[in-house]
Amino acid sequence: MSIVYDAAARTITLNTRESSYQMQIGPLGHLLHTYYGRRAEGNFGALHLKKDVGFSPNPHALAAVTRGWSLDTLPQELSGANSGDFRTPSVCAVTEDGRRGAELRYVRHEIRPGKYALNGLPAAFDPAGEAETLSVTLADEVLGLEAELLYAVYESRDLITRALRLRNTGKGALRLEKTASCCLDLPFGDWDLLHFHGRHAMERQPERLPMMNGVMRLGSRRVASSHQHNPFAILCNRHATEDAGDCYGLMLVYSGSFELEAEKDQMGSVRLTAGLLSEGFSWTLQPGESFDTPEALLCFRHDGLNALSQRYHRFLRRCLCRSPFSTAERPVLLNNWEATYFNFDRDKILTIAREARDLGAELFVLDDGWFGRRNDDRSSLGDWFVNEEKLPGGLEPLIRGVKELGLQFGLWVEPEMVSEDSELYRAHPDWALGVPGREPALSRSQLALDLSRSEVTDWIYETVAGLLRRYDIDYIKWDFNRSLTDLYSPALPPERQGELAHRCTLGLYSVLERLTAEFPHVLFEGCAGGGGRFDAGMLAYFPQIWCSDDTDPIERLTIQRGSCYGYPLSAVGAHVSASPNHQTGRRTPLDTRAMAAMASGFGYELDPGRLSEEEKERIRGQIRRFRELEDFAREGDLYRLTELDDKRDYEAWQIVSETKDESLVNLIVTHPRANPRPLHLRLKGLDPAARYRLEGLETFAAYLPEPPEPLPEIFSGAALLYAGLTLPRMMGDYPCVQIHLKRAED
């Protein structure tokens, strides 16, 4: 049993293999959060001193007995509003007669096997029958509001999921104003917030900051999780490193506007909340109706950031993403975007496809520009029929040609958008979001469709399903190239306009649910101008997401590092592109580009016709190598070998197979220096008792100024873990080395 109720202590404890999470029902029924940390037994209620703090109010029924009990100072399992806790609220509702807030008290709880599901939202599932669900119902009888707190415990995975179901149990309408998915109070400790910010072509830059006194608030108003902030953050002990120290992760399974707040209060207690963006949000519940929040995935590890990331990686691959590709081999692809942009015709595409096949690619992807009159990015979104000028005879002959080469065929679409210059817009101008009387803001010259409307989501579903039924398509790249503005829907009454942003995200999920269920054999890759929707909500449907429009391998190292604090390498779509790079102009060696891109969604995005014979031969070798390493690289544990704030001249990461029989060490020199310090790496995750054979040391010979002293080929695991490896100096532009370790037979 991973969930234990102690009736005498009035505690409910959730145990994973290495963590414990406890709540306690207070004297008046308020639900206190008494512990989350390393696995431990006991009643942790006594950790929290019931002490009189000036200006922190007491519940009326307790005030005569003690001034030491306050919602404002004790850790809450789900904070209310307007009832004595001045810290960040999690839930706030308003009745028709203007009573506003939430003061929630225990009604009942239930423990049951399996994993709860959410209405209309992606959520983790339970593939191995290991999850246990806790449902705790709290109520505010004055408002007629019931809050069902849902938890699922995945004991062996060290993961706890949380969500909230709010119900109107009153007689009149109830307006929800704030609905956080999760509230985590940590009364003790010295915490840093590690979060992931950025911009287009520079996503998920990790930033670690000490918690300030006050509120640190991140989020998105874009109706997309966004390039700018990611719905995932970590609170880690001030001294935590990649390999030691307490860390808490909070990941939202959501792809729309969100907020994540981290508050350090007057007593030094830290509260982390996350959920739907509350600014501009409201949701009306009629009597008897309920509302589900997105799910939050919580993980605690006592042994550093690498261990925390690994738990998320395994969990997302196995328990969140429903695509059969999540844990399967993916085809190596060649995408024509950076090879041709909009400028192509059938012959050019077939020439590229033939060359791609000769390089060893397995899937050819036709990117933007194949439909309507799309010769640049100013028209035709919505007109998902073939541009016959570029592709005479339509897609069939092209797909046939690609298939005859022995390649799979993939297609780009951006179905949530519409161009003003399109047949769709001329037929249904009201399907685009826009405030009546105001010209809507354009972004990349396009408008966004109103996915809160079922006729729009039905049309998107029919359009994409129609393509998939009509053509022999193996892969879809699903793009989304603007943030949403001008939120107004003629389909919603005035008092429900605050629901629109969330309804658009629910509309998207309804389409993805239908399409991925109907076409499980199609490999879907998410994309939003690169990584503008790189989140667990999208990963529930799509096994991989194009990580960034910046394909410069050196820039990608930080983007991919930031992405992989929470998301697995197998979710990262990454391609080798041309040098000089189209975004930065930087020149990098082909091997370095391939090493940076060797995640599971691996491919090429360049014109093979411009490659030399030597480069082509190298690419053939890279694809063969990727195939050899793919399985264990996809399923293995990722270790960052450098600390975030190291002053270093290289980036290095390692993948270790589950059995510890194999490992791959990758290193790219990011700042070649005169007279550099020795390049020394301590490896991680290996079996200290094993002996490992090292292969691949010769790969970096090209960068060595003089022949290196030969390294021994066999090391003990202990030597690699505790003493490490010192690599010879490498010179030139961005050299790299990849070392493959295999357990040596005795």
Of 18, 423, 615, 631, which one is the catalytic site residue? 615
Residue 103 or 338 having the CB closest to ligand DGJ = 338
Integer Cα distance of 453 and 461 in angstroms:
12
Q: Identify residues 655-714 at the interface with ligand DGJ (CB under 6 A).
A: none
- Shortest distance (Å) from residue 605 CB to ligand DGJ: 8
Q: Quick count: other Cβ atoms within 10 Å of Cβ 705? A: 10
Site string for ligand DGJ, 339-358 (x = CB under 6 A): --------------------
Is residue 615 part of the annotated active site? The answer reads: yes
Does 546 sit near ligand DGJ (CB under 6 A)? yes
First-residue to last-residue Cα distance in the chain = 42
Catalytic residue among 140, 246, 355, 535: 535
CB atoms within 10 A of CB 129: 8
Q: Which amino acid, residue 465?
A: A
Please state the closest distance from residue 735 (CB atom) to ligand DGJ, in A.
28
State which of positions 355-394 bind ligand DGJ (CB under 6 A).
367-368
Count, in order, helices (H) and strands (E) of the chain. 13, 39
Asked whether position 412 contacts ligand DGJ by CB under 6 A, the answer is yes
Q: How many whole angstroms separate alpha carbon 317 and alpha carbon 635?
A: 9
Is 535 labeled as catalytic in the residue annotation? Answer: yes
- Which residue has the closest beta carbon to ligand DGJ? 368
Options 27-35, 41-49, 344-352, 522-530: segment touching ligand DGJ (CB under 6 A): 522-530
Q: In which residue are the tokens 């179905």 written?
A: 415
* Residue (607 or 631) nearer to ligand DGJ, CB: 607
CB of 480 to ligand DGJ, least distance (A): 9
Give the span between the Cα atoms of 407 and 475, in whole angstroms: 12
Peptide bond into 543 cis (omega under 30): no
Phi, psi of 44 (to 5 degrees): -95, 10
Nearer to ligand DGJ, 146 or 479 (CB): 479
Q: Which two tokens stand for residue 730?
A: 């490498």
Q: Are 542 and 323 in contact (CB under 8 A)?
A: yes
Which of residues 88 and 481 has its CB atom nearest to ligand DGJ in the complex? 481
Task: Compare residues 56 and 600 and give the one whose CB is closer to ligand DGJ.
Answer: 600
> Does 604 interact with ligand DGJ (rule: CB under 6 A)?
no
Asked if 549 interacts with ligand DGJ (CB under 6 A), we say: yes
User: Whole-number minimum distance, CB 339 to ligand DGJ, in Å?
Assistant: 12
Minimum Å gap between C-beta 618 and ligand DGJ is: 24
Of positions 529, 573, 608, 735, contacts ligand DGJ by CB under 6 A: 529
Q: Which stretch binds ligand DGJ (CB under 6 A): 38-46, 143-151, 427-435, 526-534?
A: 526-534
The least distance separating ligand DGJ from the CB of residue 484, rounded to whole angstroms, comes to: 16
- 248-to-132, 616, 663 alpha-carbon distances in Å: 21, 45, 27
Q: Which range, of 41-49, 126-134, 211-219, 527-535, touches ligand DGJ by CB under 6 A? A: 527-535
What secondary structure does DSSP assign to 236-296, as a single string?
EETT--SSSB-EEEEEEE--SSEEEEEEE-TTS-EEEEEEE--TT--EEE-TT-EEEPPEE
CA dihedral for 217, 220, 226, 228, sign (positive or negative): negative
Q: What is residue 693's three-state secondary structure?
A: strand
b/e map 3-32, b = 16+ CB within 10 Å: beeeeebbbbbbbbebbbbbbbbbeeebbb
| 452: three-class secondary structure by DSSP | coil
**Taking contact as CB under 6 A, which single stretch among the options 132-140, 177-185, 523-531, 556-564 is the one that binds ligand DGJ?**
523-531
45 scored as a contact of ligand DGJ (CB under 6 A): no
Interface with ligand DGJ in residues 104-123 (CB under 6 A): none
Query: Does residue number 527 form part of the binding site for ligand DGJ (CB under 6 A)?
Result: yes
Active-site residue set: 535, 615
Q: Which stretches of the chain bind ligand DGJ, using CB under 6 A? A: 337, 367-368, 412, 479, 481, 527, 529-530, 546, 549
